[in-house]
Amino acid sequence: MSKLYDALNKQFNFEIESAYVYMAMAAYVDSKGMSGFNHFMVQQAKEEMAHARKFYDYMMEMDQTPVYTEIPAPKAEYGTFKEVFETALEHEKVVTKNIKEIYKLAQEEGCLDTQQFLNWFLEEQREEEDSFRGIVERLERINESWNGLYIYDRELAQR
Ligand code: FEO
């Protein structure tokens, strides 16, 4: 596998790892009785699996079979709900950094197909970071008040 396909394969696996991280967050918030937060995180995990599928399909189209690698155990416990979403935001920043690094590699290797393929992800990452940043800001204002948390939980159930 070339350096570029190796990077694409790593990101393919990291998207699956992202789904795993968000499912663990979903379980944590569910265990605290927040069904709306749970719904939000389960939807997020589904999106990550769809992202992984995009990498899978692209690699197959380019005649490169994706290879599944080991996935580390995700964090299971958090101190606050804000910490859950802060961790998700930091996770998304890592995804964005990875995508940009693969993009640079594709430029260096003159692979126009990969650059075009990654354009969708650049936009998606802007949206994902913006979405999590908004939730963190909202939770900062709610400041762990149960009243505010329950109202927000109902809102996130609408995703
Ligand atoms: Fe697939 Fe949230 O990055």
Rounded to two decimals, what is the model's pTM? 0.95
Instruction: Say how far apart CA 130 and CA 116 lie, in whole Å.
Output: 23
pLDDT digits (tens, 9 = 90+) for 9-43: 999 999 999 999 999 999 999 999 999 999 999 99
Give the ligand 1 atom nearest the CA of 48. Answer: 1
Query: What is the band of 159 on the pLDDT scale with cuts at 50, 70, 90?
Result: confident
- Residue 140's domain comprises 3-156
CATH code assigned at 53:
1.20.1260.10
Instruction: Say how far apart CA 7 and CA 126 lie, in whole Å.
Output: 21
Q: How far is the CA of 92 from the centre of ligand 1 (A)?
A: 6
> What is the number of structural domains in the chain?
1
Q: How far is the CA of 147 from the centre of ligand 1 (A)?
A: 30
Query: Percent of the chain scored above 70 by pLDDT?
Result: 99
> Is 1's pLDDT higher than 70?
no
> Is 85's pLDDT higher than 90?
yes
